[in-house]
Chain A
Amino acid sequence: MQPRTETKPQQRAATEQGKTGQILLAILALVATFAVLWLGFGFLRDYQKTLPKIVTTIIAIIWGVGSVAALFASANFLVEQFNDQIKNAVRPFIFIGPAVFLLGWFLFLPVLRTLWMSLFNSDSTQFVGLTNYVYAFTERTMLEAFRNNLLWMFFGTAGCVFFGLIVAVLADRSNFETLAKSLIFMPMAISFVGAGVIWRFMYYYAPANATQIGLFNAVATSLGGQPQAWTSQLQPWNNLFLILIMIWLQTGFAMVVFSSAIKGISTDILEASRVDGANEWQVFFQIMIPAIQSTIITVTTTILIFSLKIFDIVIVMTGGQYGTEVVATKFYREFGVNRNFGQGAAIAIVLLIAVSPVIYYNLRQLGKQEGFK
């Protein structure tokens, strides 16, 4: 190997000059990227009414997707111009920076800001201490919302886990497993609002002597019963008819996870227990359930959290009337409709407190992982 030649002073000056030029160029590139993005935004905002919709849609997609890539590329280009020491110190923050920025802005800081806001009055001008929390835990409709959320959490979760498990076990032995699983899973692709239309139609009420076009009432009247207003008059049972929609939507999720857990059970154990004379019920309760216990817990937790935050179904079906208010719709009413920021914030914090055990559990799991000890 050749010994490294000493760089002469003027040469070094020249490369440093080149370096400075490149750095300036890179800064320029970054600034230009920002400028182009800003102009694109202004263009979209100002011209979206005059341009044909399809054109703005295409421009928006290209601009939105391209901008992220351009930002990463130009920021990285800038960092690459510096010497190794700076480069290695700064580079990780190019990679994680945007994520940290967005998470900080959209989730981390809002937790603190909402907490702060919950201590103030409705338009955040006067400190009121814990008054909003007293409201959140004592006001009549809030108590009703808590009761309903408990109903959702209990019956919704139980229903999803129960049907999910049954379908997973049945499908495993049936002759049309794939088709059955697709059909049960399909509602996962449907929005709550879409599901709202579907189920409003299912529950549709017409007076007793009119033709029933809703399936539930058609069945009820053909069996000799009276047509019912399922989601409004039958309080508090109407909550269960709303919960039915969530079970319909979410059972597919539970089923898929259970199904692959069941397939993961060693066939040797199942065969051995059958040879030993265990019947199918014993195999199910004494072999399968214990084997997939941890999966059951994960799925149950996930659906519990989900049902805690249920919002769209209630808003679309009843708007929270007829005693069906839940915490999330109550939040929306205070914050979105009544502009009561203090009380809305307090309700959001109550939701956060409700999920905090899961946050704690997640962090403990992370602590056990390799590389994060």
Chain B
Amino acid sequence: MSSMVSRPRARSARRSKLLGSLFVNVALALICLLWTIPTIGLLVSSFRARDDINSSGWWTVLPHPEMVTSQTIKLDRENTPLDQPIVLTELGGATVSDAQLQAGTTLPSGQFVKWESRRQRTVAVQSSQITANARFTLENYQSVLTGQTADSSGNLRPEAGTNFGNALLNSVAVTVPSTVIPILIAAFAAYGFAWMRFPGRKILFAIVVALLVVPLQIALVPILRDYVSLNITGTYLAVWLAHSGFGLPLATYLLYNYISELPREVLESAFIDGASPFTTFMRLVLPLSVPALASFAIFQFLWVWNDYLVSLIFIGAQPDVQVLTMLLAGLIGSRGQDWHLLTAGAFVSMLLPLILFFSLQRYFVRGLMAGSVKG
């Protein structure tokens, strides 16, 4: 008796569990789709020809029904008044009104007719066909990477403000040292704060922690003045120093948390063997801290690569040293309608971070967990 009762109950429980899991998966898939569509749109557009981007949505690269004009009928311009029924002799003498042609109408024969030009009195005969505007080209990328575009006769002409190849190298030259320098300096400092005793240690470290969330806008005016008097604005060094200074509090704080947790015995045995603190640091502490160093490095790399404000202020109008974000922002300002250049340029600027992101994803998460506040 009891089994007869419990079986349907178990089945309904299983069914509701199945429904629940279906709901979870469908809802999540929907959110993921919404989240990915903007990027997909950019990627697809960057491979489309200039005219295609401007004349149709990027989603039309997928097969979709579209009204295609199969025939154009020229009516007599003078003898076709619009306030009377219009006879289409070419289509078996069907009669339509001006309003019908404006909105488009289907004739009894199944043909769809619409004004192509009301003023010129031309009528388009259309039919619905499944098409895909899937013509792709690498020309946009060629234009933005070399700063040149081939015109219809194949001659190269310069495309103003689109030398992304140059800016890509600048971004690399700015980002790599701006990542390594603060990490190295912060690691030394973290080791000093964690394993050495010296006067002023607590107050100095408290200042580091207080500076964690200081907005960098505070620093821009005074630092720019210093740079002007040192005559280093618009150089790599200026940007390296700025990014290092602004990244240091978080780097020092995170690495301090990690390095101060290293096992005491390991370091002490090194000292007993006669190693100097410098040697211990280079040979023991740095290798042991690789996980913490790596996860901070990923974030610092992304922040610097994606930074706009710091470069904008300290590189300014120096076209030779411009990084990708500056060039892209400039392009938005000056040629905001040139989607073929904008989309390809944006994708060039995103390529390296995205590669880094997908290959190092699991370290990201560890880095996020270590500390989630940045100034």
- Do B248 and A99 touch across chains, with their CB atoms under 8 A apart? yes
| Chain A 304-338 near chain B by CB (<8 Å), digits 1 or 0 | 01001101100110010000000010011001100
Please judge, given known A-B contacts A99-B188, A211-B55, whether A363 and B209 are in contact too, CB under 8 Å. yes
Residue of A nearest to B321 (CB): A48
- Do A215 and B59 touch across chains, with their CB atoms under 8 A apart? yes
- Do A197 and B343 touch across chains, with their CB atoms under 8 A apart? yes
Q: Is A44 an interface residue (CB 8 A)?
A: yes
Q: Is A117 an interface residue (CB 8 A)?
A: yes
Q: Which of A72, A257, A332 contacts B372 (CB 8 A)?
A: A257
Residues of A contacting B82 in the complex (Cβ-Cβ under 8 angstroms)? none
- Do A108 and B207 touch across chains, with their CB atoms under 8 A apart? yes
Residues of A contacting B214 in the complex (Cβ-Cβ under 8 angstroms)? 107, 111, 352, 355, 359
Stretch at the interface among A22-30, A144-152, A172-180, A225-233: A172-180
- Do B185 and A68 touch across chains, with their CB atoms under 8 A apart? yes
Q: Which of B166, B193, B242, B329 contacts A193 (CB 8 A)?
A: B329
Chain B contact residues, majority secondary structure: helix
- Do A371 and B260 touch across chains, with their CB atoms under 8 A apart? yes
Residues of A contacting B209 in the complex (Cβ-Cβ under 8 angstroms)? 362-363, 366
Residues of B contacting A280 in the complex (Cβ-Cβ under 8 angstroms)? 20
Instruction: Compute how far the CA of A106 lies from the CA of B218 in the bound complex, rounded to whole angstroms.
Output: 9
Interface centre among A49, A105, A166, A170 (most CB of B within 10 A): A170
| Chain B 193-232 near chain A by CB (<8 Å), digits 1 or 0 | 1001110011011111111111111111111001000001
Please judge, given known A-B contacts A93-B198, A113-B222, A215-B37, whether A98 and B189 are in contact too, CB under 8 Å. yes
Q: Which of B42, B197, B220, B223 contacts A197 (CB 8 A)?
A: B42
Q: Is A348 an interface residue (CB 8 A)?
A: yes
Q: Is A191 an interface residue (CB 8 A)?
A: yes
Q: List CB contacts (< 8 Å) of A235-272 with chain B.
A: 248, 251, 253, 256-257, 260
* 27 chain-A/chain-B pairs, Cβ below 8 angstroms: A41-B237, A49-B320, A61-B176, A65-B176, A99-B189, A99-B208, A102-B244, A103-B211, A103-B249, A106-B242, A106-B244, A106-B245, A113-B222, A185-B361, A189-B353, A189-B354, A191-B325, A193-B306, A213-B56, A248-B38, A253-B368, A301-B373, A311-B309, A335-B220, A345-B221, A349-B218, A359-B214
Enumerate chain A interface residues (CB-CB to B < 8 A). 41, 44-45, 48-49, 53-54, 56-57, 60-61, 64-65, 68-69, 72-73, 76, 80, 89, 91-96, 98-100, 102-103, 105-111, 113-114, 117, 163, 166-167, 170-171, 173-176, 179-180, 182-194, 196-202, 211-215, 218, 248, 251, 253, 256-257, 260, 280, 298-299, 301-302, 305, 308-309, 311-312, 315-316, 319, 328, 331-332, 335-336, 341, 344-345, 347-349, 351-352, 355, 358-359, 362-363, 366, 371-372
Can you name 10 extra interface pairs (CB under 8 A) apart from A174-B24, A372-B206? Answer: A57-B173, A61-B177, A96-B189, A108-B211, A188-B364, A190-B39, A194-B349, A215-B37, A359-B212, A363-B206
Enumerate chain B interface residues (CB-CB to A < 8 A). 20-21, 24-25, 27-29, 31-32, 35-39, 41-42, 45, 53-59, 165-166, 169-170, 172-173, 176-177, 180-181, 184-186, 188-189, 191-193, 196-198, 201-202, 204-223, 226, 232, 235-237, 240-242, 244-246, 248-249, 252, 260, 276-278, 281, 302, 305-309, 312-313, 320-321, 324-325, 328-329, 332-333, 336, 339, 342-343, 345-346, 349-350, 353-354, 356-358, 361, 364-365, 368-369, 372-373, 375
